[in-house]
């Protein structure tokens, strides 16, 4: 299981721990930063799926940090703001924040907002032709695939097959379905060809090959 990673930026350790607990209960992996500099350092080092950013911080406020993050990354940012700072909403969202949540908040609300922001980010990425499943990244326009940052060279059919399955993740397709959808309706070859491509895909994708699953008696599916 690859957990999604959230970076919590808040000067108060207590708040970080509290939020971190909520998130970990909900199955996220948490990183913490006490100020903007730490946050930037972490973001530069490892991929993060979302940032929770406190607005009120001593050294640099959340908006300044948000602006600096946006210089180098379009990671989704969710502001945490105390009651009565509502005016900040506009300011924050204009600066490239994706949502804001007013303290005090319930675990449920936090998770719901976070999931919503992550869903939106995923959709937006997919509209740009970039699919991401944990360590597996697929770039439709560039026709490239990377596993854990490492480029993997795929042939035409391998790429098309992977892309199709990934775009329709969760759905099972028979070999004949795949021949029609990926090879074209007028393809007349042997259905076992699909097996061979699945084999090479799994081999080339290493660990990430587990996304392509065999459904015995039916065919294959991509599980993301």
Residues that bind a second copy (CB under 8 A): 37-38, 40-45, 68, 71-72, 105-109, 111-113, 115-116, 119-120, 139, 141-143, 155-156, 170-172, 215-218, 221
Q: What distance in Å separates the CA atoms of residue 218 and residue 109, rounded to the nearest whole number? A: 40
> x/- binding map, residues 110-149, to DNA, per CB under 7 A?
----------------------------------------
Closest-CA residue to 53 (of 45, 73, 157): 73
- At 54, give phi and psi (nearest 5°): -70, 140
Please choose which of DNA, a second copy, none residue 170 contacts, taking the beta carbon within 5 to 8 angstroms, the exact cut-off set by kind: a second copy
Sign of the CA dihedral running 205, 72, 125, 34: positive
Are the C-beta atoms of 54 and 82 separated by less than 8 Å?
no
Contacts (Cβ under 8 Å, ≥6 apart) of 88:
55, 63, 79, 81, 100
Whole-number minimum distance, CB 87 to DNA, in Å?
A: 56
Binds 199, which of DNA, a second copy, none (CB < 5 to 8 A, cut-off by type)?
DNA
Pick from 41, 63, 39, 60: which is nearest to 51 by CA? 39
Q: Considering CB distances under 5 to 8 angstroms, the limit depending on partner class, which of DNA, a second copy, none binds residue 16?
A: none
Q: Is 189 in the site for DNA (CB under 7 A)?
A: yes
The least CB distance from residue 42 to a second copy, in Å, is 7
Task: State the residues that interact with DNA by CB under 7 A.
Answer: 153, 155-158, 175, 183, 187, 189-190, 192-193, 195-199, 202-203, 214-219
């Amino acid at each position: 299981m690859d957990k999604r990673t959230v970076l919590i930026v808040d000067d108060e350790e207590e708040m970080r721990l509290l939020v971190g607990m909520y998130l970990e209960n909900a199955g996220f992996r948490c990183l913490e930063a006490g100020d903007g500099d730490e946050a930037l350092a972490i973001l530069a080092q490892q991929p993060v799926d979302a940032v929770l950013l406190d607005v009120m911080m001593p050294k640099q406020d959340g908006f300044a940090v948000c602006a600096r993050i946006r210089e180098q990354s379009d990671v989704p940012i969710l502001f945490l703001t105390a009651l009565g700072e509502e005016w900040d909403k506009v300011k924050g969202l204009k600066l490239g924040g994706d949502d804001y949540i007013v303290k005090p908040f319930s675990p449920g609300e936090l998770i719901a907002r976070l999931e919503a922001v992550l869903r939106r980010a995923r959709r937006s990425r997919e509209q740009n032709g970039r699919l991401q499943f944990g360590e597996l990244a697929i770039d439709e326009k560039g026709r490239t695939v990377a596993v854990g940052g490492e480029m993997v060279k795929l042939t035409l059919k391998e790429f098309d097959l992977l892309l199709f399955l990934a775009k329709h993740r969760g759905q099972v397709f028979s070999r004949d379905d795949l021949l029609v959808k990926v090879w074209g309706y007028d393809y007349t070859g042997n259905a076992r060809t699909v097996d061979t491509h699945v084999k090479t895909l799994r081999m080339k994708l290493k660990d990430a090959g587990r996304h392509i699953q065999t459904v015995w008696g039916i065919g294959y599916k991509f599980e993301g």
